[in-house]
Structure 1
Amino acid sequence: MVPYSLDVPGGVATHVLGLARWLQGRGHEPWVFAPGVGRVDAAVPVTLLGAAVALPFNGSVARLALRPSQSRALLAGLTGFDVAHVHEPLTPGVGFAAASRCPVPLVVTHHAAFTPRTPVTQLLRRRALRLPNRVSLAVSPSAAALVNTIGAGEPRIVPNAIELPTPPEARTGRPRVVFVGRLTERRKGYEAFVEAAGLVPEADFIAVGPGGSGAPKVTELGRLTDEALGEVLAGAAVLVAPNLFGESFGMVLVEALARGVAVVASDLPAFRAVASDADVVGFFPVGDVSAAVARIRERLAQPCDPFAAWRLARRFSWDVVGPHIEDAYQRATLPVPDGGPADTKPR
């Protein structure tokens, strides 16, 4: 269950749909529930819960289904499944409704990582106390730290994952430097990418994602399908991730590495948790465009081995990560002395 609208691209939705496809390939019968009104090409069954409301949060915009009727429809839909997997269980709307009133054994995954202010901490702690017995996961140490801060237990870390492509080949021709993310979202750091484009004339700069500023030195491709994004990355020399804050996992880094692309990224804990091999990944201080340009030029002058990048991404493939989630589903259905499932109980 995804609490965020599938009408807008996002890391949680990408993760959940990829997981559902992997589970289906393993012979399971997954079914995805999420807000949204548009058409979803997911290759797995999806039930859309209707329109979402845009709420600014953590430097981003969360599009959530908040109507009670949407929560009732979701809870009715969950009845009859062997286990429910709710992502971001403390999120307002259908996410918290599904987790707090789940009619079947429950697994939750926490994705968010931020430093909550005291009122937010208190709110999240109250919500966590209302969750039933569950198996609790987090996608990164940063996300797990937030869960621990609000007293919601100590989740097991199971990272996001990707459908690993075939090993890449070496690039030829004029180098391309790529940005992937929402261009108008400040925390993604797109302004730094635009500034860097004007300082590195020896490469073509390409941006993928919704929004746009008409930057003269950047080719802005807008939102692409997963297949088209893969093609763009396959032709890139460097991915730049100049994010400023609010990241719990470097999914875009993993996607680039899987295509054999070198990474230049802000020095954020979530990004270092993905990869820190200096032959493939270079970090720069958050917001330091001059340092970012220096790292880009270093990587252009000495391209990384595409296969080495691919190997770094391999540990985030579904064939590696997926079995840990299957194990969580098995644990959720095991009985415990009080008759409920799971390894995290209300406190």
Structure 2
Amino acid sequence: MKIVMIADLILGGEGRHALGLSEELKRQGHDVEIISFEKGQDSLPYFNLFLSYKVLLSKKALFRLLEEKNPDIIHMHLPFSTMDFLVEEIKRKTKKPVVCTIHLSPGGRSIIDSVVTLYLKKLSPSLKHSDKIICVSKFVKTHLKRISGISEKKLLVIPNGVDVHKFRPQANKSRDFRMLFVGRLSPEKGLSLLFKSFGRLGEGKLCVIGDGPLKSKCIREAVKNKRVEFLGRVNDEALIDNYSSASVVVVPSTWQEAFGMVSIEAMACGTPPLAFAVGGIPEVIDDGCDGFLVKKQTPEALSRRINEARASDLVRIGKNGRKKVLRMYDWKIIAKETLKVYQSLA
């Protein structure tokens, strides 16, 4: 089957999803090409639309590429750009089935949650023209249906996946209690709350990996507190090494995360995630079995749960997480489910 993916590879979870799915579909013998802003994996054909400012030119470039490639399926990963609103035109001009995967979750009361909800409401008339809409969690499906009026028949849930051969436990677990944060360094990811919570803990270490507008704040915290280590942006090899060596991976997001890619990457490496119970995250983590959930978004609740996690059997919980990922989130499984959607439309 010939598949064209349209995705923003710059965005964290969405980019990793699009690349991971594309790589696995290619391994299974399918012809997969990606149209994006950013260069992807060397092993995948890639086309840059140079979308930054020339929206009209980009639109022309998009349709030229779609005509040239003549795929069996067009799979759009949203949000992407103003082209998110072109589903009807893409379907009409190419006469090809269009599948959309939604990587955002409506709902919630924060400013960013409100912006996401508004975006998805505006996007709904365009989305209704797609043949199928894949939601990365039940949470996303429930709230998208509520705000959009899209038919239940078009909506289905296929979660994010992870490369279980790449993300796997290493023999480097830290003897000290070591917490790890991985993600975009922005307010909605809960970094300020995490630093306040960490200040309440008498011992342990905190490592921060990522990039974003709060980078300077992270550097200051690392200078001020010798128990805080800031690594910035790292490659996958270093990321996996840090996932594996950590005692817990803290996911303190305060907005409605659609899924939480960091949680399954941590679990794949045998390390329990510890996260606020927001958005689709509770669908991933079974509290106390393969990770930890925090119900109240306060420094006190977070530090209390960290202490409880520290007193738990983290090795057993980490092994449970790895087993769950192998059972539910291996890209082989996710690609198989996605392929069923394609085949039902082709």
So what's the TM-score if we normalise by structure 1?
0.83
Matched-pair contact (CA < 8 Å) for 1:71–1:93: no
Matched, 1:308 2:320: yes
Of stretches 99-108 and 11-20 in structure 1, the one that deviates more from structure 2 is 99-108
Q: Output the amino acid matched with 1:106.
A: V
Q: Output the amino acid matched with 1:87.
A: H
Q: Output the amino acid matched with 1:177.
A: M
Shift of 1:21: 0.6
Matched-pair contact (CA < 8 Å) for 1:181–1:188: yes
Matched-pair contact (CA < 8 Å) for 1:71–1:98: no
Q: Output the amino acid matched with 2:252.
A: P
What is the RMSD of the two structures over their aligned residues, measured on CA atoms? Answer: 2.3
Q: Output the amino acid matched with 2:18.
A: V
Q: Partner of 2:194 in structure 1?
A: 193
Q: How does 1:80-95 map to 2 (within 5 A)?
A: 80-88=70-78, 92-95=81-84
Shift of 1:200: 2.4
Matched-pair contact (CA < 8 Å) for 1:147–1:153: no
Matched-pair contact (CA < 8 Å) for 2:136–2:159: yes
Matched, 1:96 2:85: yes
What are the ranges of 5 or more consecutive residues in structure 1 without an aligned counterpart? 54-65, 334-347
Q: Partner of 1:108 in structure 2?
A: 100
Q: Output the amino acid matched with 2:58.
A: Q
Q: Partner of 1:73 in structure 2?
A: 61
Q: Output the amino acid matched with 2:84.
A: G
Q: Partner of 1:325 in structure 2?
A: 338
Shift of 1:203: 1.4
Deviations 1:81-121 (A, max 9, x none): 111111127x6522332564231222221221113689767
Structure 1's 93 and 122: CA in aligned 2 closer, same or farther, altered over 3 A? closer
Distance between the aligned counterparts of 1:324 and 1:241, measured in 2?
A: 27
Matched-pair contact (CA < 8 Å) for 1:75–1:98: no
Matched-pair contact (CA < 8 Å) for 1:188–1:243: yes
Of stretches 320-329 and 274-283 in structure 1, the one that deviates more from structure 2 is 274-283
Q: Output the amino acid matched with 2:149.
A: G
Distance between the aligned counterparts of 2:13 and 2:121, measured in 1?
A: 26
Matched-pair contact (CA < 8 Å) for 2:140–2:258: yes
Distance between the aligned counterparts of 2:83 and 2:161, measured in 1?
A: 24
Shift of 1:12: 0.6
Q: How does 1:156-167 map to 2 (within 5 A)?
A: 156-165=156-165
Q: Output the amino acid matched with 2:36.
A: A
Of stretches 259-268 and 120-129 in structure 1, the one that deviates more from structure 2 is 120-129
Q: Output the amino acid matched with 1:85.
A: H
Shift of 1:321: 1.5
Distance between the aligned counterparts of 1:162 and 1:293, measured in 2?
A: 29
Matched, 1:23 2:33: no
Shift of 1:221: 0.9
Shift of 1:191: 0.7
Distance between the aligned counterparts of 1:86 and 1:317, measured in 2?
A: 21
Q: Partner of 1:126 in structure 2?
A: 125
Aligned length: 313
Q: Output the amino acid matched with 1:153.
A: S
What are the ranges of 5 or more consecutive residues in structure 2 without an aligned counterpart? 108-113
Matched-pair contact (CA < 8 Å) for 1:237–1:303: no
Distance between the aligned counterparts of 2:11 and 2:127, measured in 1?
A: 27
Q: Give the structure with the larger helix fraction.
A: 2
| Aligned residues with identical type, % of pairs | 25
Structure 1's 142 and 225: CA in aligned 2 closer, same or farther, altered over 3 A? same
Shift of 1:297: 1.5
Matched-pair contact (CA < 8 Å) for 2:19–2:40: no
Distance between the aligned counterparts of 1:290 and 1:243, measured in 2?
A: 15
- State the SS of the aligned residue for 2:32: coil
Shift of 1:174: 1.5
Distance between the aligned counterparts of 2:205 and 2:329, measured in 1?
A: 29
Matched-pair contact (CA < 8 Å) for 1:239–1:263: yes
Shift of 1:69: 1.2
Matched-pair contact (CA < 8 Å) for 2:285–2:292: no
Matched-pair contact (CA < 8 Å) for 1:268–1:286: no
Matched-pair contact (CA < 8 Å) for 1:254–1:274: yes
Structure 1's 298 and 121: CA in aligned 2 closer, same or farther, altered over 3 A? closer
